[in-house]
Structure 1
């Protein structure tokens, strides 16, 4: 059984998302340690989302509530958050509806900026991390690989795939009114991680040419060489940060890399170099009329809120960006949701067929065991010209055709139990108990519409 629980910009506060995101790498292993029924876990953590996708081995007829509560407790323990509060915040999705939810997320339909492009890569990296940690399963692999395929379809077949849909670009749109001339804007990019390349591309699209990069982790030189810009050393960081017009932070560092003290120290150093007097905490004359914009795209926060205490400094962070996110473009969004609906339903149908596979194998074995016995009997009577064998094999194929078609039809409707019971009643064929249990679980967890809208399937508690 697949289960997903999630917190996002739609149902959780920024502080909670920040805590969850900061500890996301520890969550999946801890979830697996919490309960034997959890076979696998993949965690998706972005600047506006934390989601855990679980593959449960729930016994026939059992409730997954205890397992889910234990998983939520595990997440709370690594993020130092109260489990009861998390249960009240998380949205829960189960069964085949999980596919519809993940496909929608991977396609950018649940993002702050609908259709934003970075999320598909984040979903892919989440699966890669789970592989590295050994927390994924074949069913979770199938789920996430199909999600990547769906996101590519949405990008290629709808207007949501157009260039420029991202948090980075929205942030720069909001900064437009504060920037006189992009071509003359001196910019410091802090970070070389997942958003740095996209941030640099978005800046260049607006005509920014004067960009330098600083990396808290020491990767600035390599990033600068790859992108044709200059790196900033740790010794020069404060001075450069104080001198530029725009700072864009997008680092995965677990500490704040820009704060009031950094900018004040940089300004004081510049004033000293210019032989300007600095009296107490007063602003040096060199910066008296400066306007400086700091854009924080990091989660956890890269920038301390106290930077606005420095005269002339404005802060644009994720909370502000979320408030100004544009409305969905309804036609393009409807087309994208149709693709998600189709692909999620197909995922559910193929899953039901896979759960029925042991019974299909049992029927084919039954038929071909009889066939081989008859062929051997015919050969013992001297019929060795091959015509009898060919006729018997053709007849077996014809006989199996209708049961195979019906198996797929019943699996897609969630009624594979009827097919298994029919085999037992007609032929005395009973697939392995484990296979029957898997089929029962699939039927029990699958809603009538496997890709029903996520709003209808989210609940506020696992109970």
Structure 2
């Protein structure tokens, strides 16, 4: 059984999202060890959402509430947040609604900026992280692979995402009214990850040529070399920040990389580097009155809000960007949501057929066991030319055809139980729960498969 619980910009504040995102690593493993029914977990944590996708081993008809509460308690322990507060915040989905939700998320339909390009990669990397931690399952694998396929289909068939929408680009659009000439704007980029690359591309699209990069983690030189930028050394960071017209931060570091004290120190260093008037032997450092824009794209927050206490500094953070997100383009969005809905239905159809796999295997095995017995009797009575064997195999194939077709139809209608009960009532065949993942092919000897496929 698939379950999803989610906190996003739609139902949670950025303070909570920041806490959850900062502690997301290791949450999946904690959820699995926290309750025996949780077989797998994949966590998607971004700057505006935290989602946990669970694969539960539940007996048909058994409530998943206890397992879900256990998983939420595990998340709360990791994040240092009260589990009751999380339960009242999280949105929930189960069954086929899980696929519909993830497919919409991966396609950018649930983002602050509808159609943003980064989310598809974040969803893909969430699965990769689950691989490394050993927390995924075949069903979660299938779910996330279909999500990636659906997001590509949405991008290729609709206008969603075709303009390279992202939080980065929206932030720069909001900054337009504050920038006189991008070509004359000095920018300091703080961070060297994927968001930094996207930020640099968006800045260059606007004509920015004066960009330098600083990395709190020490990767600035490598990023600078690969993107033909000057790197800022740690000793020169404060002055470089004060000298920039625009500062863009996009790191995953859990502490502030910029605050009032740092920026004030940089301004003082700049002032000392210029020729200043003196009164007696004391230099007089005038307050720098030029405007500075700080764009904080980090989660956890990269910038302390106290930078706005300095004259001329304006802060544009994720919460501000959220409030200015554009309305959806209804035509393209409607088309995209229809693609997502079809993909979710197809995912559910296949899942239903997989649920019936043990019963289908048991029925086919039962029929072919009977068939083998009749063939042996025919051979013992002189079926030298094999015509009786051929006829028996043909008849078995014809008899199984209708039940196989009906099994798929009933699975698509969500009526798997009707098929399971019918097989047990008519043939006395009951699937072994332990063989739920067994494929039809694996249940038959190779010589039997060869005869059946030929018939």
With the length of structure 1 as denominator, give the TM-score of the two structures. 0.91
SS of the aligned residue for 1:11 comes to: coil
- Larger mean CA deviation between 429-438 and 140-149 belongs to 429-438
* Map of 1:387 onto structure 2: 387
SS of the aligned residue for 1:350 comes to: helix
Q: Is 1:108 aligned to residue 118 of structure 2?
A: no
Shift in CA distance, 436/267, structure 1 to aligned 2, threshold 3 Å: closer
* Map of 1:164 onto structure 2: 164
Contact 2:357 2:437 in 1 (8 A): no
| Within-5 A mapping of 1:151-300 | 151-276=151-276, 284-285=285-286, 288-300=288-300
Q: Distance in 2 between matches of 1:62 and 1:399?
A: 35
The structural deviation recorded for 1:75 is: 1.0
The structural deviation recorded for 1:369 is: 1.6
* Map of 2:417 onto structure 1: 417
Contact 2:256 2:304 in 1 (8 A): yes
The RMSD of aligned alpha carbons is 1.9
The structural deviation recorded for 1:434 is: 4.8
Contact 2:358 2:433 in 1 (8 A): no
Residues 22-59 of structure 1: CA distance to partner in whole angstroms, max 9, x if unpaired?
11112111111211111111111110101111111123
| Within-5 A mapping of 1:340-379 | 340-379=340-379
Q: Distance in 2 between matches of 1:215 and 1:58?
A: 47
Q: Distance in 1 between matches of 2:419 and 2:278?
A: 85
The structural deviation recorded for 1:388 is: 3.0
Contact 2:353 2:411 in 1 (8 A): yes
Q: Distance in 2 between matches of 1:278 and 1:8?
A: 55
With the length of structure 2 as denominator, give the TM-score of the two structures. 0.92
The list of structure 1 runs, each at least 4 consecutive aligned residues, that deviate by more than 4 angstroms after superposition, is: 434-438
SS of the aligned residue for 2:11 comes to: coil
Contact 1:268 1:278 in 2 (8 A): no
Q: Distance in 2 between matches of 1:376 and 1:156?
A: 57
The structural deviation recorded for 1:233 is: 1.1
Contact 1:44 1:122 in 2 (8 A): yes
> Unaligned stretches of 5+ in structure 2?
439-455
Shift in CA distance, 206/310, structure 1 to aligned 2, threshold 3 Å: same
The structural deviation recorded for 1:86 is: 1.0
Residues 162-189 of structure 1: CA distance to partner in whole angstroms, max 9, x if unpaired?
1221100000000000011111111111
Give the structure with higher Rg (CA): 2
SS of the aligned residue for 1:222 comes to: helix
Contact 1:293 1:314 in 2 (8 A): yes
* Map of 2:303 onto structure 1: 303
Residues 329-388 of structure 1: CA distance to partner in whole angstroms, max 9, x if unpaired?
100110010011000011111001001001111111112122222222223333232433
Residues 50-88 of structure 1: CA distance to partner in whole angstroms, max 9, x if unpaired?
111111112343221122112111111111111111111
Contact 1:271 1:277 in 2 (8 A): no
Shift in CA distance, 283/257, structure 1 to aligned 2, threshold 3 Å: farther
Q: Paired residues, what number?
A: 435
| Within-5 A mapping of 1:55-94 | 55-94=55-94
Residues 403-442 of structure 1: CA distance to partner in whole angstroms, max 9, x if unpaired?
110000001111111111111121111111456899xxxx
SS of the aligned residue for 1:159 comes to: coil
Q: Distance in 2 between matches of 1:71 and 1:366?
A: 41
Residues 181-231 of structure 1: CA distance to partner in whole angstroms, max 9, x if unpaired?
111111111101131111111111111111111111111111112112121
Q: Which has the higher contact order (CA 8 A, sep 6+)?
A: 1
* Map of 1:454 onto structure 2: none
Q: Distance in 2 between matches of 1:291 and 1:376?
A: 92
The structural deviation recorded for 1:273 is: 1.8
Contact 1:76 1:82 in 2 (8 A): yes
